[in-house]
Amino acid sequence: MALERVKKAILFTRLVAYGFRVSVSILRRAVSVKFAALTTRTLTPPTDHSEVKNVVVVGAAFAGYFAARILAASLPRDGRYRVVVIEPNTHFNFTWVLPRFSVVGGHEHKAFIPYTPAFFAQGPKDVVRWVRDRVTSVRKGSVVLRSGDEIPYEFLIIATGSTVANGLPSRLGVETREEGMGVLKAMQARIKAANRVVIAGGGAAGVELATDAKNQYPDKSVTLVHSRQAVMHRFGPGLQKDAMDALQRLGVDVILGERVDSGSADGKFIALGSGRKVECDCFVGRVADIQMLAGQINCTGQRPASRLIAELAPDAIAPSGHIRVKPTLQIDDESLPNVFVCGDVADTKDTNPNSRIAGRQAEIAADNVVLAATGKEPSYTYSPGWGDGVIKLTLGLDRSTTHFWDGESELLFSHQEADLALMCGRAWAGVSAKPFEDTGMYSS
């Protein structure tokens, strides 16, 4: 007991030190951006536009959008470089709230944050070119878009994140705000119309969806099926227990050590791997099943969106599907020193990939591009830090728990949550958007 207390005290001290390091890093960046603005204002841009070199960023979410902002603020201000951001979505999809908005109506618009030039205000005017399109292939020196256009690059940052086959509650699978709001509303309607909801996958998205659904509709039967022996199995035992306690307190049936046979859903029952049948008029599985049935929800597995690099440099793809990188976040392929990777798609061995990690990697990739653009060797390096693995898990509509874990000890903080929209206003403000006005020029 005493030993456990000492371990927790050590963990708390490490947490404070971690917070301090993060603050210093934010300060360092603010100072260096100010310094760049003051010292390079007088340089003249090249008159010939063909001399302007592109730093292309593929994907604009927690990794790519933030990398583009750092590049805009820190690349040499002599007009030699421009940042080209390529993103198919009309709006920044704020993933954190998708399980909640799959159940609770009236807030859908808050999940779609407008992309706005104001986000790049620290850089020179017009340093960013925004391209609403999808990259369909990457070549050495250029990217090809769905539109057929080809854009050359001097440096490339791949920040394509991850995808799921089934969409909600983890991803939307559509590109416009209107379509995305429609997908969320359709899911809300399916759950509302159902009597027996079965959710597959006891990771964060599954636990959040199950607790929200049961909290919102206490009279419905909600069952969570998970293939492992504990929900939240990738995290510490304290969080596993908190999650299980909350599920049971709300009355969610939890079935562990079983997989769902999604193809067996017939609108009345669904079969588990063992052959057991569970009553179900709203399961969530493969896309084909979603079209067939009244409603389906699958919270299992995201996959890294690494196809573009798999075609260009197949040896750089890890068995997990992530893109192998060096500590500098350059792709692990000697023939592509000018290609960097950051965020969920990068093979950085983080135990709980998340937005903070994506943002930290974005910083390192962008800083290294700036070094290379000024003739220096990329020297900033990334290594996983346990403090980045923190997770805040909602456990019903008015509760959450925050979990820090260093692999041995864990700290858990329970909170009452007053805001059904999970404080997305802060996320809007964090990317220079006015909550909740859809005014971003890039998003129009």
Ligand X SMILES: Cc1cc2nc3c(=O)[nH]c(=O)nc-3n(C[C@H](O)[C@H](O)[C@H](O)COP(=O)(O)OP(=O)(O)OC[C@H]3O[C@@H](n4cnc5c(N)ncnc54)[C@H](O)[C@@H]3O)c2cc1C
Omega within 30 of 0 (cis) for the link into 169 = yes
φ and ψ of 228, to 5 deg: -95, 180
DSSP-assigned beta bridge partners for residue 135: 145
Per-residue contact track with ligand X, 31 to 70, x per CB under 6 A? ---------------------------xxxxxxx------
88 binds ligand X (CB under 6 A): yes
DSSP per position, 76-90: -SSSSEEEEEE---S
173 binds ligand X (CB under 6 A): no
Helices in 303-381 by DSSP H: which ranges? Answer: 307-312, 355-373
Q: Is 170 in the site for ligand X (CB under 6 A)?
A: yes
Contact 416, 399 (CB under 8 A): yes
Question: Which C-beta is closer to ligand X: that of 232 or that of 272?
Answer: 232
Strand partners, 304: 162
Nearest to 134 by CA among 85, 93, 171: 85
Return the structure tokens found at 430.
Answer: 């964090």
Q: Is the Cβ of residue 96 or residue 272 nearer to ligand X in the bound state?
A: 96
CA-CA distances (angstroms) from residue 107 to 272, 400, 436?
34, 19, 10
Site for ligand X in 340-359 (CB under 6 A): 343-344, 353-356, 358
Residues shown for the chain: 444
The residue among 90 and 221 lying less far from ligand X, judged by its C-beta, is 90
Nearer to ligand X, 274 or 320 (CB): 320
Of residues 303-332, which lie at the interface with ligand X (CB under 6 A)?
305, 308
* Binding flag, residue 155, ligand X (CB under 6 A): no
* In the complex, least distance from residue 311 CB atom to ligand X, rounded to whole angstroms: 11
199 makes contact with ligand X (CB under 6 A): no
Asked if 281 is part of the footprint of ligand X (rule: CB under 6 A), the reply reads: no
Contacts of 237 (CB under 8 A, 6+ apart): 230, 410
Q: Determine the Cα–Cα distance for residues 251 and 443; give it in Å rounded to an integer.
A: 42
159 vs 254 by CB, closer to ligand X: 159
How many residues form the binding site for ligand X (CB under 6 A)? 34
Going by C-alpha positions, the residue among 163, 215, 167, 201 that lies closest to residue 187 is 167
Residue 353 or 378: the one with the smaller Cβ distance to ligand X is 353
Query: Nearest approach, Cβ of 312 to ligand X (angstroms)?
Result: 12
Asked if residues 59 and 87 have their Cβ atoms less than 8 Å apart, the reply is: yes
Using CB under 6 A as the binding rule, the residues of this chain from 200 to 229 that contact ligand X are: 205
Using the rule CB under 6 A, is 162 a contact of ligand X? Answer: yes
134 lines the binding site for ligand X (CB under 6 A): yes
* Residue with smaller CB distance to ligand X, 203 or 285: 203
Site membership for ligand X, residue 117 (CB under 6 A): no
| Subset of 286-305 contacting ligand X (CB under 6 A) | 305
Q: Say if residues 308 and 323 touch (Cβ distance below 8 Å).
A: no
**Toward ligand X, which CB reaches closer, 205 or 370?**
205
Q: Using alpha carbons only, how large is the chain's radius of gyration in Å? A: 23
- Our finding on whether 73 is near ligand X (CB under 6 A) is no
Q: Which of 70, 84, 113, 159 binds ligand X (CB under 6 A)?
A: 159
CB nearer to ligand X: give 95 or 221.
95
**The binder of ligand X chosen from 98, 297, 312, 316 (CB under 6 A):** 98
What's at 155, amino acid-wise? F
Contact letters (x/-) for ligand X, 379-398, by CB under 6 A? Answer: -------------x------
Judged by beta carbon, residue 89 or residue 221, the one nearer ligand X is 89
Beta-bridge mates of residue 225: 200, 255
> Phi-psi region for residue 231, left (φ > 0), alpha (ψ -120 to 50) or beta?
beta
Cis status of the peptide bond prior to 112, with omega within 30 of 0: no
> According to DSSP H, which parts of 113-203 are helical?
177-193
What does the binding site for ligand X look like in residue numbers (CB under 6 A)? 58-64, 86-89, 95-96, 98-99, 134-135, 159-162, 169-170, 205, 305, 308, 343-344, 353-356, 358, 392
